[in-house]
Amino acid sequence: MGGQPMFIMSEDSQRTQGRDAQSSNIMAGKAVAESVRTTLGPRGMDKMLVDSSGEVVITNDGATILNEMDIEHPAAQMIVEVADSQEEEVGDGTTTAAVIAGNLLGEAEDLIEQDVHATTIVEGYHEASEIALEAISEQVSEEVVDDEVLKQVAESSMTGKGTGGLTAESLAETVVEAIRHVELEDGVARDNVTVHTQIGASSNATELVPGIVIDEEPAHDGMPGEVEDASLAVLDVELGVRTGEIDAEYSIDSIDQLNTAIDAEESEVRGYAETVAESGADVVFTTEDVDDRVASYLASEGVLVFEGIGDSDAKDIVSATGATRVGALDDLEETDFGQADRISAENYGDDDLAFVEGGAAAETVTVFVRGGTEHVVDELERAIGDALDVVATALASGEVVPGAGATEIAIADKIREEAAGIEGRKQLAVNAFADALDIVPRTLAANTGRDPIDALVDLRSAHDSTGRAGLITSGEEVTIDDPFDYGVIDPADVKREAIESATEAATMIARIDDVIAAE
Ligand code: ADP
Ligand code: MG
């Protein structure tokens, strides 16, 4: 190649290598994890996030916070992904996973400074995470996961979240009822539970609707507000004369012709109304518009019609009632109808809602949540979403572990025990993994105003003597005791996922020693 220099990268690209690359990545990852640390646990604080357009979100939810923050650094982005995959896989434990990942990075940084090679750290972390999974299985409760336990799981996931005026207890009851409703022989159809929020009333009115709720009002005031034992049709049909059609068909140059045109239009409109009425449908949902005259005629026939419904609402109604969507009125047959025990139109302040309950719809349930303001309702929706996820997870696997830091204390203890038998520098990495897990009880302590070091010492000694010790918050009290006795319970899968996703992200970041960024 004649001694010519060879350029493989554009001159504008930036390159950071070796220790510099490692430490800048680690710092970014740690910083992101640190940003959610104060929200962990029942005494965690909320964050107020304001985006560039001034939109405000107030939340305690790790995944929500990390996603609202405008994070650009690629290593930091990997911590956001930890929270995201945690949210996706098990629906809770996002703060825990991010905080553990951040601390694994912090420990890795110390090890690198002591000249422990990244590869050794990665191996040690993987070995430690295997031990952690064993420790989690050892912590699984031997008790049957019944409704009582499920309620405790739900409550544990909601403590510290803004649940408005609602007690976590009554919410937990609704959540468990909802999940039991969609329980299958071999799992839980979590997707069949939806949450519908409604701003206005005080939040002590949250109920379970055996069906679905959509934001729609009847097409005409004279229509019935409620239909029992309803046969319903779901249409993608405009019930009226399309604007423009008339002009195209008739060129009007005399009063007679105009009258003919009006008559033709009238009879076309009446035709639609009669076809619908004669089909036998009690309730009609259409994604298109309904002419006022059609609506008025159908009202007089006692048919309840909702017009202009959204495509996803139409899909929900179809799957909940067994209806078939019909694209042309001539094709409408009785076999296309869905069934519901009750369809009703109700008014809530400024909003009108349609409830489709029971019948074939009984397969789906809606947690109907009300709250005073948008912020209350939004956070309530996230809290209920988490609670639905953890209850579904706990019910599906039947495995729960103690919360309040007890599981993390037990994992760290087991790892330290086994580390003694691991040769060479890898032992340092395995021990560092245990140290990283201490962040959970330490943070729970710090967020209650306790001295984290004292709390850790007390927790370990209680764990040594009883085998199960957490830092339990109940009301104003903070106690070190067995979390099972206080109903502070998490699904085992939430802990497993947190360990796995945090390990994966931390080892991936620690391994990088070369960052090449195109400008
Ligand atoms: P995450 O996003 O990780 O779920 P949370 O803010 O929901 O974060 O806090 C979860 C942690 O709080 C878990 O470790 C759980 O066991 C613990 N926790 C829940 N309720 C209590 C309680 N009453 N006392 C102490 N810890 C609790
Ligand atoms: Mg949680």
Residue 197: what pLDDT? 85
Residue 336: what pLDDT? 93
**Average pLDDT of span 285-309:** 92
Amino acid at 84: D
Lowest-confidence segment of 18-22, 163-167, 278-282, 515-519 by average pLDDT: 163-167
CB of 210 shorter than 6 A to ligand 1: no
Tell me what the pLDDT averaged over the chain comes to: 87
- Which atom of ligand 1 is the closest one to the Cα of 155? 20
503/53: higher pLDDT: 503
Q: Is the Cβ–Cβ distance between 429 and 111 less than 8 Å?
A: yes
Lowest-confidence segment of 41-50, 200-209, 222-231 by average pLDDT: 200-209
Res 361 pLDDT > 70: no
What distance lies between CA 69 and its chain's CA centroid? Answer: 18
Res 246 pLDDT > 70: no
CB of 407 shorter than 6 A to ligand 1: no
Which residue from 357, 309, 346, 361 is spatially nearest to 201, judged by alpha carbons? 346
Q: What is the CA radius of gyration of the chain?
A: 30
Distance 490 CA to ligand 2 centre (A): 9
Distance 454 CA to ligand 2 centre (A): 25
User: Is residue 324 annotated as a catalytic residue, yes or no?
Assistant: no
Res 335 pLDDT > 70: yes
Amino acid at 215: D
CB < 8 Å & 24+ apart, contacts of 73-77? 73/28, 73/32, 74/25, 74/515, 75/24, 75/25, 75/26, 75/28, 75/29, 75/509, 75/512, 76/28, 76/29, 76/31, 76/32
What is the C-alpha to C-alpha distance for residues 356 and 367, in angstroms, rounded to an integer? Answer: 13
Phi, psi (degrees; rounded to nearest 5) at 201: -70, 170
- Choice among 39, 59, 64, 95 that is catalytic: 95
Residue 148: what pLDDT? 94
Res 58 pLDDT > 60: yes
Residue 344: what pLDDT? 93
Q: Residue 169: which pLDDT band, with cuts at 50, 70 and 90?
A: confident
Q: Residue 245: which pLDDT band, with cuts at 50, 70 and 90?
A: low
Q: Residue 262: which pLDDT band, with cuts at 50, 70 and 90?
A: confident
Residue 2: what pLDDT? 56
- Which atom of ligand 1 is the closest one to the Cα of 405? 14
269/46: higher pLDDT: 269
Provide, rounded to the nearest whole percent, the portion of the chain with pLDDT above 90: 49
Residue 376: what pLDDT? 80
User: Is residue 197 annotated as a catalytic residue, yes or no?
Assistant: no
What is the C-alpha to C-alpha distance for residues 475 and 241, in angstroms, rounded to an integer? Answer: 63
Residue 362: what pLDDT? 66
Residue 519: what pLDDT? 62
Res 15 pLDDT > 60: yes
508/517: higher pLDDT: 508
Residue 324: what pLDDT? 93
Ligand nearest to the CA of residue 385, numbered in listed order: 2
Region at 404 (left for phi over 0; alpha for psi -120 to 50; beta for the rest): left
DSSP 8-state code for residue 35: H
Distance 490 CA to ligand 1 centre (A): 8
Which stretch, 5-19, 54-68, 450-464, has highest mean pLDDT?
A: 450-464
CB of 95 shorter than 6 A to ligand 1: yes
Q: Residue 79: which pLDDT band, with cuts at 50, 70 and 90?
A: confident
Lowest-confidence segment of 141-145, 406-410, 512-516 by average pLDDT: 512-516
130/199: higher pLDDT: 130
Residue 19: CB partners within 8 Å, gap ≥ 6?
A: 112, 513
**Average pLDDT of span 91-114:** 92
Q: Residue 402: which pLDDT band, with cuts at 50, 70 and 90?
A: very high
Residue 162: what pLDDT? 62
Phi, psi (degrees; rounded to nearest 5) at 16: -125, 135
Res 436 pLDDT > 70: yes
**Average pLDDT of span 327-344:** 90
Q: Tell me the per-residue pLDDT of 200-216, one tens digit each, with 9 for 90 and over.
A: 765 556 788 888 899 99
- Choice among 39, 46, 59, 61 that is catalytic: 61
Res 413 pLDDT > 60: yes
Q: Residue 7: which pLDDT band, with cuts at 50, 70 and 90?
A: low
Q: Residue 263: which pLDDT band, with cuts at 50, 70 and 90?
A: confident
What is the C-alpha to C-alpha distance for residues 319 and 341, in angstroms, rounded to an integer? Answer: 15
**Average pLDDT of span 69-86:** 84
Which domains can be identified in the chain, with CATH numbers? 15-141+401-516 (1.10.560.10), 211-361 (3.50.7.10)
Q: Tell me the per-residue pLDDT of 457-504, one tens digit each, with 9 for 90 and over.
A: 999 999 999 999 999 998 788 999 999 999 999 999 999 999 999 999
**Average pLDDT of span 166-174:** 81
Q: Is the Cβ–Cβ distance between 402 and 483 less than 8 Å?
A: yes
Residue 378: what pLDDT? 84
Distance 60 CA to ligand 2 centre (A): 9
Q: Are strands 56-59 and 477-481 parallel, antiparallel or unpaired?
A: unpaired
Ligand nearest to the CA of residue 39, numbered in listed order: 1
Q: Which residue has the tokens 């000249």?
A: 115
